[in-house]
Chains A and B, each alone.
Chain A
Amino acid sequence: MTLNQTPGNDNQLIFVLQVFFDDVTLKLAYKQNITLSSVLYDSSVLAQGSLNIGETSINPSFGGMSDISTLSFAFTRNSSNEYLSNFKDDFIPGTSGRYAINRLVRVGIVWEGATNENQISWINDYYYIQDFNSNKDYISFDCNELSALEKAELPYYTVQKNVDDCMSYSTSCPDNNNVAIPLLYGLFNTQTFSKYYPEADINLAPAVLINRDTLEYVYASHQCEAFTGSGFVFDDRPLLEYREGGWLIINPANSAGLSEYVRESVILQSTKAEDETLIGKLCYNRGYLSGKKSDYGAIAALNTGAGFVTIADTETVSIKIDGSLNSGVGLPGVASTDVRILPTFVDNGSADEYISVQYFDPNTGAFSTPAITSTQGVYVNIGNDISAKNPAALPWTFDQLTQIEILITNITSTYETATPIYLESVTIEVNNIIVQQVAPANYSRELYNPIRAEIRAMKLANSKGMIISDLRI
């Protein structure tokens, strides 16, 4: 604490108060008058022995907030102060009396000899009158530090409950009923937000996003992000629509002239399917992707029931297949064909089409070198690709494969006449699994029982998504 006035050797210490009533600020001194900046700090008002400042403390055993400090004082009946001449009727409930509750009180000190208010050292200026009472001699005031923190509540949301309580929204989240939606708030833009996803230890599914600038709240039944226009505008259209039969419809913005700040993506998580086997995600992602600097053309339609995604010539679609597996059984093999990506297409009537396939390496922040292939059922073998993994010598893991992000670009015009292609599905095959861990004695068999470990077949309702096939144990 820095004192505003240097004390002399023997100077008397004087406590001063400023009480901020609506009609006047009372300036009072305790026990001894003092004039500061030509204003008398009146000592006739405060009752002798009435001024008391409570202890301030913290609990040293563990972190926390300090106790709220208290202040008390009393006005005497026989005050000569011009603003307190009516004593018992000076304050409400007296007729035309002042309101005292929640009025500010500042307390400070000066040393005898001070002449200016700026020589006051304020001890605390956040006391508010919380209570007062009177008798024939005194009006006593009790003050607390007003804690603004108590009054501020932070927003929260949960997924849909059985009844609409106006605080929950996600109607198709059967596995997560009554589970809290993580809340992420702050200042977002495309660049900021895109950095979240690679930070896989903080995954945003499901999430409520709050844009601090626009005060728009965007919620996702599972996980979504949507940006249109430029800057910080969240798309206010429904991102997801549910249809009978478990269809999930994505409504991407169909804006032209994508600019640096345009980005939209939707990640869907199918929590349950008709055959009870679906646990996975399909992510549609358009716009700036990690490591990419070029604009992506608009894609007219996606997954509206046609069963395929139209990719015009030179357009790119990003498919993120996000799921989870019980991977305790082992790891995929490292031979070239042990892990394969197979995009399948609906025949477009054209003789030849060509695509490039890349997958995202979260470790380097870049996509792999494009693999050029025709669309006619050609696998992209990645089992022996060691560049995308770190440490490089390791095999793929199921966690990596179930979250892999794939870019498919229509490059037909590079070789033939330009033509649109119709992406039907993307399959990742794991053709060889190395069973490598038999449960040691000190491990729970729940975790390390290779016989019980299961690889779930994964696909989306309309056959888009991932299928783990040819499982060999």
Chain B
Amino acid sequence: MSDKYNKYDNYTKSVAYYEQFLDKNDPRLTYLRAREAGVSQRANFSQSYSSSQMPLAITGGRTFKPDVDLADSVSWAYNRTTQDLDTTIQTPGYIIESLLREEIYTERDLTYTGCLNDAGYKKVQCPDLKSSEDDYYNGAYFINHISATQDFVTTILDYDGTSKIIYLAESFGNPVSGTTGGVFSISNINPNINTSSFDLAGNATNGSKKDWKMANSIIAKTSSDDIISAICNESFIWLVKDETGYRLITDEPGDIDGTLQYHIAGKGKVNMKVSYTPADEICTDFKLHYYYSFGRQSYLKEISVSPKHSSVAGLDDYQAICASTETNYRISKKWEYSADWIKDDATALAYLIKIIKRHTRQLLITNFVGDFKNHLKYIIGDRILIYMPAIVPDSVDYTKVFQIYSKKLNINNMVIEFGLIEMAEQPDNINLTTEVPEDLKTEDEDLFFIE
């Protein structure tokens, strides 16, 4: 039922924009090129679905809109995302953050047994609350289902775990002092979210994934980690939980977090290997299916590229890459995937390009063993350089940017073991100095030996 004109912004953008998504033979491109050239042309782009073929519309994402009664201070979306709150949040990171705050760290169907305005607070007692730990609900959102007309949401100011009493601002209208029995919910209960990492990905102004859009229908009882994993998978982000809380990692090139150089040898040997991702991951022919229609039970769109063709102009550059991969590796292999969360053409293109960059050449993999003192600060997802001129090739040493994908604290040997992989997309400028810094010249002297 969708209007394809709206879908393509009514064709108000440049031809180059639409060339990214539309099939090269699409008559709409013929028209748009003519229009851009000022040539009068009768439109003839009437692609069709018969009525029985009309895709059942689907939707996804989440909506956030601080209403007139929702104080700005309790809306994480309003405060941080800098995006139009009238629209669905479709960026993958913020969908995940929303699931964490509004669905997972939430207690629902709570009934209060007493309410009293006292000393500037509205004290709401509820034995149903799960936690008896003081301050446990501080900062969470109290969502009022008592009145449909005013004061829907406010922040919990304090919590007495022993008596299970929530402290709200006395000015908050509901529940009314002296009443009992109303129903409320609490969301955003200590979600422990590393918000800066989510903003790096999703900020509407400069987030590295700000233009990625995810949407899907939830059609079966599904655990939230399955849903989050699927979103992460199709947007090249990783959700990790560490001492900073839930943290989002992206594969986008960014600032370098440090240089690894103090490698610790074991039993007199520098046990550092440089290898490649498996050759059987090399592919030369890529096809992505997306825009799944539940009504038709099929994917309505696809884009593809191979040594002999590319389906959209945005993949033209990768046709030659596929060809050279076939020549260099003597491999001809197909990669095909059906994306359930991708409906957006630009997102589909961005996703497939990332796949191509990972599968048309082998990426370097290495390991690094360091001491606690200098290396505990590094965490999974950090972008780092390696300075080991005696060990690694010159083209890698202090040149290639790696990303930490595993970290193990080896307590018995008191070392930290990192797994590193070359970033498929290297930063354009890693601000390397022309001369090797002085502190990077002594790695041989800093090798430690564990017997």
- Listed in ascending order, the chain A residues whose CB lies under 8 Å from chain B are 1-3, 7, 13, 15, 30, 49, 51-66, 109, 121-126, 145, 147-156, 158, 176, 179-189, 191-192, 195-196, 198-205, 207, 212-215, 229-233, 279, 322-331, 362-363, 390-391, 393-395, 397-400, 403, 434, 436-437, 442, 447, 453-454, 456
Contacts and interface: CB of A to CB of B under 8 A. Distances in A.
B241 A145 contact: yes
A399 B3 contact: yes
B241 A182 contact: no
B37 interface: no
Nearest to B144: A213
Interface of B: 1-7, 10-12, 25, 27, 35, 40, 42-44, 46-51, 54, 56-60, 62-67, 69-70, 86-88, 98-99, 102-105, 108, 143-145, 148-150, 152-153, 185, 215, 217-225, 227-229, 232-244, 249, 251, 277, 281, 294-295, 343, 358, 372-373, 376-381, 403, 405-409, 411-412, 414, 417, 419, 421
Contacts of A279: 51
Most buried by B among A63, A150, A403: A63
Contacts of A192: 63, 65, 86
Nearest to A192: B65
A449 to B, nearest CB: 10
Given A30-B411, A51-B411, A231-B149, A327 B46 contact: yes
B219 A212 contact: no
Contacts of A398: 46
Given A65-B232, A192-B65, A399-B4, A156 B219 contact: yes
13 contacts: A53-B408, A158-B219, A180-B217, A182-B59, A183-B217, A192-B63, A196-B88, A200-B2, A202-B59, A326-B51, A327-B48, A390-B11, A400-B3
Given A62-B236, A229-B149, A56 B242 contact: yes
Contacts of B377: 1-3
B104 A215 contact: no
A179 B373 CA distance: 57
B57 A203 contact: yes
A55 B408 contact: yes
Contact of A215 (B25, B60, B108, B414): B108
B86 A205 contact: no
A436 to B, nearest CB: 5
A437 B46 contact: yes
Nearest to B102: A212
Nearest to A73: B411
A213 B408 contact: no
Nearest to A395: B43
A447 B47 CA distance: 7
A56 B380 contact: yes
Contact of A125 (B88, B108, B243): B243
B54 A156 contact: no
A324 B57 contact: no
B1 A205 contact: yes
B6 A201 contact: yes
B440 to A, nearest CB: 20
A99 B294 CA distance: 47
Given A65-B229, A192-B65, A201 B148 contact: no
Contacts of A59: 405
A416 to B, nearest CB: 39
B148 A150 contact: no
Contact of B243 (A123, A180, A362): A123
A400 to B, nearest CB: 7
Contacts of A150: 223-225
Contacts, number: 292
B145 A214 contact: yes
Contacts of A395: 43
Given A63-B234, A397-B5, A391 B408 contact: no
A419 B385 CA distance: 81
A390 to B, nearest CB: 4
Given A109-B376, A203-B57, A229-B149, A61 B407 contact: no
B149 A201 contact: no
B238 A58 contact: yes
Contact of A189 (B57, B67, B244, B376): B67
A255 to B, nearest CB: 14
B46 A330 contact: yes
Interchain residue pairs A-B with the least CB separation, the first 3: A328-B48, A203-B57, A186-B63
Given A51-B411, A232-B152, A399-B3, A155 B218 contact: yes
Given A123-B243, A186-B63, A201-B7, A213 B143 contact: yes
B219 A149 contact: no
A102 to B, nearest CB: 13
Contact of A66 (B1, B60, B236, B241): B241
Contacts of B1: 200, 203, 205, 322, 324, 403
B242 A124 contact: yes
B411 A207 contact: no
B254 to A, nearest CB: 16
B83 to A, nearest CB: 14
- Most chain A beta carbons < 10 A, residue from B153, B228, B251, B408: B408
Contacts of B412: 49, 52
Contacts of A57: 380, 405-407, 419
A63 B27 CA distance: 36
A54 B409 CA distance: 7
Contact of A65 (B48, B51, B86, B238): B238
| Most B CB within 10 A of own CB, among A126, A149, A212, A391 | A149
A63 B208 CA distance: 15
Nearest to A11: B373
Given A203-B1, A399-B4, A123 B409 contact: yes
Contacts of A3: 376-377
B295 A179 contact: yes
